[in-house]
Every structure is written in C-alpha cells, then in structure tokens.
Amino acid sequence: MAKYLIINTGGTIGMAEGPQGLTPQPGLLQQTLAEHPNLALWREHDLQWHEWQPLIDSSDIYPSHWYELASLIRHCDAEGVLVVHGTDTLAYSAAALSFLLSDCTMPVVITGSMRPLSAADNDGLNNLMTALDALEAGRPEVVVAFSGEQLPASRVTKIDTAADHAFATPNWPEALWSNPTPTRAYALDKAWRPSAIGVQMLFPGMPMDGLMSMIERNYRALVLNVYGSGNVMADSAFRRILHRAADQQRPIFVRSQCLYGSVQLGQYATSALLTEIDATPCGGMPLEAVITKLQILCAEFDHGEAVTRGFLEPWAREWQRLET
C-alpha cells in the first residue's frame, strides 16, 4: 500500500450532462474511484484528496495555478501525486510542472479524459488505470498518463480534439526513457508574476503590425514559429523589427511550424537573419513547453540574457534527443 495524493482541478473526466451541457460534478471522481469495479486496484492504496473549489474547465487555467499546484505537491505528505486536469491546457500544465518540480523525488502523474466518466463509452477509466501504473512505476518526475501511454511532461502536445489518443510527443522517441532526467541546478525563488510573451506564426502576406506592437509594448520575449528548418521571409520591415528587438536585448526564440524536426539555422540562406540577431532555436520542444518555460523564466529573471541562459539549460527532458 502506498499513500497517494489526488488533486482534482476539474475537466471533462469529472463532468456530467446538465441543462446547458457538460458541467463539473464535485465528488464524482472520488465516488467513481471508491465504487467502480474496474478501479479496484486504486482502493489498495491510501488515497488523500484535494479537490479544487470550484472545479474549473482547463481553459481557465492560469500560470498562477501551476505555482499553486507545484507548492501543494512539494509540501504534501505522499509517495506520489495524481493531478486530474482538463485536456485543453493539460500539455501546458504538464510542461510547467515538469520545470517547477525539476528536483522532484516522487512520481507526479497528470491525466484527464476526452469523455466524462458519466458516459458509457468513457476513456477516463482506462486513463485512471494508466495513471496508477505510472504512480506504481515510481519514476521520480512528472509524466502524462493517457490512452495507455506514459509520456514525458515536457514533450507533450495535444494533437486531436476528440480521439482517445489525443496527446503525442513529437521528436521524443521512447528509447530516451533510458536517459536520466536532468534537474535544474538552482532553486526558483520568485513567486509568479505576469510577463508578456509574444508568439508570432509566420505566414505569406503576414502584416507586421502585431509583431511591431510586441516590441513597442516591451514584451519580455518573442517566439517565432518559422517555416521549415528555420526559414523566414526577406522582408525589409520584418528585418527592421527583429533588429530593433535584438538591439533592445529582447530574447528571440525560433521553432518550426512542422510537428516533427527542428530548426537548423544556416541550412538555408533564408535563415541568415535569425543568425544575425542571435535568435535561439528551440530544439524539438513543443510550443507548450517553450511558452511555459519562458513564462517561468521571465517571472524569475529580470534580464533577457538570464532568460536565454536558463532556457538553454535542461530542467526536465525538454532538450533530450537521440544522438546521430
């Protein structure tokens, strides 16, 4: 028997049909774990509960919630923690917790479902059992348990709006599980504070107003979703804006719009501008991990140089790749 803390934040898994559609049902998850025959193995453990009041849709998750969860997990008296979460922002919360709990010494598992436990064809029962498997495996890090799979939290992205197999880890092969999980070399001492992170996807005919506005409004960092392996348009206004950002020591990060592969600056001449402004490639990280790590870094550090340095340091599995 192990002692596990279950933190129920809300989400589809614990909803039921109401007059206006699916709504959170307090106590439903706890009742299901206590009574459903398919979840009997859960009842072999000492389960502690922390249910948010009110339960929320994951669309309403904010970075302050990540810090709240991390603090609760860090100070709990348990051998493992299950976080039940809605799927829309699950990948963001998973990545954030993997960074905030980089020095974690127990398993922290995140799960949810695409259909509620109240539905006859629900996927929640299977996901809860996958989560229990992950807890019992005892891997001391944050993982996502979904559709029969255990996935590294810093590499997860949502890829489907309806299918059971809603999450994937592009650019992260399972062979990397054998590699040790990196840990952050220093403590994060600052409380959450909002910081503006700009995200711009390039597209043909893109107006420059939005990107310029991010510079004029002193956004702390910019993330560019660029073409292919790191290519950008030869546009004079675009060039001026990025050089202005670089002159202001605004850190700029670049990632590919492609689901698989990574940015390789210098492979094509059209990436030369990004090299000129000393932009930082994001490796194979999904957008959720890029954004959440930058939000945490901007809350912790005041200067762009420290943000870039921290981004390049492995805090979880975000930088892992197979050596070629």
Query: Looking at residue 18, what is its pLDDT?
Result: 84
pLDDT at position 128 over 70: yes
Helices 63-74 & 90-100, crossing angle to 10 degrees? 50
Q: Please, which pLDDT band fits residue 241 given cuts at 50, 70 and 90?
A: very high
Query: pLDDT tens digit string along 195-220?
Result: 999 999 999 999 999 999 999 999 99
pLDDT at position 86 over 80: yes
CB 147 within 8 A of CB 164: yes
CA 225 to chain centre: 17
Q: Which residues contact residue 236 at a Cβ distance below 8 angstroms, ignoring those fewer than 6 apart?
A: none
- Catalytic site includes residue 111: no
Q: Which of 32, 136, 28 is nearest to 82 (CA)?
A: 136
- Whether pTM > 0.75 for this model: the answer is yes
Q: Of 9, 12, 89, 292, which residue is the catalytic one?
A: 12
Q: Please, which pLDDT band fits residue 257 given cuts at 50, 70 and 90?
A: very high
The neighbouring-strand residues paired with 146 are: 149
CB 13 within 8 A of CB 84: yes
Q: Which residue has the tokens 């901007």?
A: 298
Query: Looking at residue 300, what is its pLDDT?
Result: 97
What does the pLDDT average to over 14-42?
A: 93
Query: Looking at residue 322, what is its pLDDT?
Result: 84
Q: All domains of the chain, ordered by start, with CATH?
A: 3-169 (3.40.50.1170), 197-312 (3.40.50.40)
**Segment (H or E) for 295:** helix 287-300
Q: Please, which pLDDT band fits residue 20 given cuts at 50, 70 and 90?
A: confident
**Segment (H or E) for 144:** strand 142-146
Burial of 79-95, coded b for 16+ CB within 10 Å and e otherwise, reads bbbbbbbbbbbbbbbbb
| Beta sheet of 3-8, edge-to-edge order | 46-51, 3-8, 80-84, 108-111, 142-146, 149-152
pLDDT at position 324 over 90: no
SS3 category, 98: helix
